[in-house]
């Protein structure tokens, strides 16, 4: 279990482009496990950060090497942000490419940079967060820098409970 926490801390740090210096952030604490989603909280420079994370139940593509894959929703109350969706794909995206998310038949676009994809703005983040909580299946498609197309399928079972947990922990309404 501790190894998994360190993996999530590493993913979180890579996602936000910083390394944790001693004393600047605490190890993430699991708030709860809800179906296929897990919620965490950590302190970053004295501010609470709450996030929920899941891994795909199926990852497809003709690739020879691929890193860890994660979908996350993050709240950062000190920065006045909530519902920030990010997707770590385990490879570097093709430059200038978009990724798509389909949740129960409704398609959403993400922009990509390096190995991460994001929603284009706060309104899109909120729509995605709501769709994830209410949906049952999410499919993410992208293209690597080598032209390899991937399709990752997620179960959204437990996502509503994980979202409620991070919102309660970070006092988000």
Report how far residue 150's alpha carbon sits from residue 61's, in angstroms, rounded to the nearest whole number: 4
Q: Per mean pLDDT, which range of 10-14, 62-66, 125-129 is the poorest?
A: 10-14
The pLDDT score that the predictor gives to residue 54 is 97
Three-state secondary-structure class, residue 130: helix
The answer to whether residue 17 scores a pLDDT higher than 90 is no
Report how far residue 153's alpha carbon sits from residue 109's, in angstroms, rounded to the nearest whole number: 16
The answer to whether residue 16 scores a pLDDT higher than 90 is no
Average pLDDT over residues 59-86: 95
Average pLDDT over residues 29-52: 96
The answer to whether residue 14 scores a pLDDT higher than 70 is no
The answer to whether residue 173 scores a pLDDT higher than 90 is no
Residue 27: which of 51, 60, 2, 63 has the closest Cα? 2
The torsion defined by the Cα of 127, 34, 171 and 7, in degrees rounded to 10, comes to -90
The pLDDT score that the predictor gives to residue 25 is 59
Which residues neighbour 51 within 8 Å (Cβ) at sequence distance 6 or greater? 12, 39, 40, 41, 72, 73, 74, 75, 166
Kindly report the pTM of this predicted structure.
Answer: 0.84
Residue 154: which of 91, 101, 113 has the closest Cα? 101
- Which alpha helices (H) appear in 19-154, and where do they start and end? 122-134
The pLDDT score that the predictor gives to residue 21 is 44
User: How does 40-67 read in b/e, with b if 16+ C-beta sit within 10 Å?
Assistant: bbbebeeeebbbbbbebeebebeeeeee
């Amino acid at each position: 279990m501790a190894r998994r926490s360190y993996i999530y801390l590493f993913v979180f740090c890579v996602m936000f482009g910083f390394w944790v210096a001693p004393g600047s952030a605490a190890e993430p604490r699991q708030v709860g496990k809800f179906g296929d989603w897990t919620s965490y909280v950590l302190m970053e420079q004295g501010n609470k950060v709450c996030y929920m994370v899941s891994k795909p139940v199926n990852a497809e593509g003709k690739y020879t090497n691929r890193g860890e894959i994660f979908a996350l929703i993050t709240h950062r109350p000190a920065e006045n942000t909530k519902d920030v969706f990010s997707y770590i794909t385990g490879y570097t995206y093709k430059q200038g490419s978009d990724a798509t998310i389909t949740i129960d038949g409704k398609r959403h676009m993400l922009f990509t940079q390096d190995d991460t994809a994001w929603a284009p703005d706060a309104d899109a983040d909120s729509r995605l967060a709501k769709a994830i909580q209410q949906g049952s299946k999410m499919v993410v498609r992208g293209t690597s820098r080598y032209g390899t197309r991937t399709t990752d399928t997620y179960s959204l079972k437990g996502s509503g409970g994980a979202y409620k947990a991070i919102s309660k922990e970070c006092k988000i309404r």
